[in-house]
Structure formats: structure tokens, C-alpha cells
Amino acid sequence: VSMQSSISGVSSIKEKVFVPELLDTAINMSILSAKDKEIEIIKEFESSPLLNIDKSKLLQIFINLIQNARDSTLANSDTPLKEIKLSIQKADDNMLQINIEDNGIGIEEANLNRIFAFGFTTKVNGHGFGLHSSALSAQEMGGALKAYSQGVGQGAQFVLTLPLKEVSGSKGVFNE
């Protein structure tokens, strides 16, 4: 990825970002139709510091995760009450944790380790790029993206952790 970035000449532009505001923007961009409005959005935002981070990459991660939660929630016909819960909290002194949880169709246990692989999808019209690029972007920003699910029909939770303090350079992120 670092080689791709250096070849393309695209560099990461960092700016001060207020995470709750960016999450609201992602919600407004992802929950558009009348059917989407059936989904209850629950926000639990603790006081959040400004992050010095690549705003466009972070927004794209949020959009990918919220759209996936929306699709999963709407696909779960067993649950009349459709919910997506967004929470922000400090994981520790160094990391901010953003949780996006839904009561959608869930993830098969066998797929939990595969969903971040390039090209893997369970969606009819999916391409298998959204979660893959989101996980790579999280790593590039010094964080991580993880998925949890109790199985089919049990919803899913995606946990994005990001450093509170600026990470100096992204080289070596993939060599851990």
C-alpha cells in the first residue's frame, strides 16, 4: 500500500476532525431512502477529542460500515425493530474506539476471518472492496478495524480503534 501511495503521488492530508460530527455526516450520506428511515439510529457519544487524521479516509470507513449495517439490518426480516447503534469512547489513554453495531443478519463464524479479504463478499451486488479498503485505511492511520458477530441472525459489531495522538509516519504498519 505504501508503494501504491508513493507511485500514485497521493499523500494523506491530515486535519483536525471531530469524530461525532463526521459520524453524523456519514449517517446523512448513508441513510437516504424512506425504507432506510425505518432504522433507528442510536448514538452514544462520550466526549471526544479532536483527532489529527485523514478526514476523507475516516469518512469513507464510516460510510462503508454504516451502509453495511443498513443493508444487514434491512435484510433481517426476523427483527421488526431495526437498529444501528453508534458509540464513541476512549479505549485507553492512547486510543479512541468507535463502535458500529446492528441487529441485522449477522456474520457466519466461518466468514469473520474472511470479510476483510479483497474480493470477499456475501452481497449479491457486492464487490468485496469496502471492508478491505476500510481495514487498510485504519491500519494506515495507526489503528485497527475488527468485526464481531454471534452468528447468523445475531447482528454484527465493527470496532474501529484510532490513535488519539498523531502516529509519526505509517511506514512499518504492515510489518508488525
What is the mean pLDDT, run by run of 10 residues, along the chain of 176 residues? 48 87 94 82 88 95 96 90 95 92 95 88 80 95 96 96 69 31
CATH homologous superfamily of 15-165 equals Histidine kinase-like ATPase, C-terminal domain (3.30.565.10)
The one-letter amino acid code at 115 reads I
Is the sign of the CA dihedral 127, 129, 130, 131 positive or negative?
positive
pLDDT of residue 11: 61
pLDDT of residue 113: 86
pLDDT of residue 166: 58
pLDDT of residue 47: 79
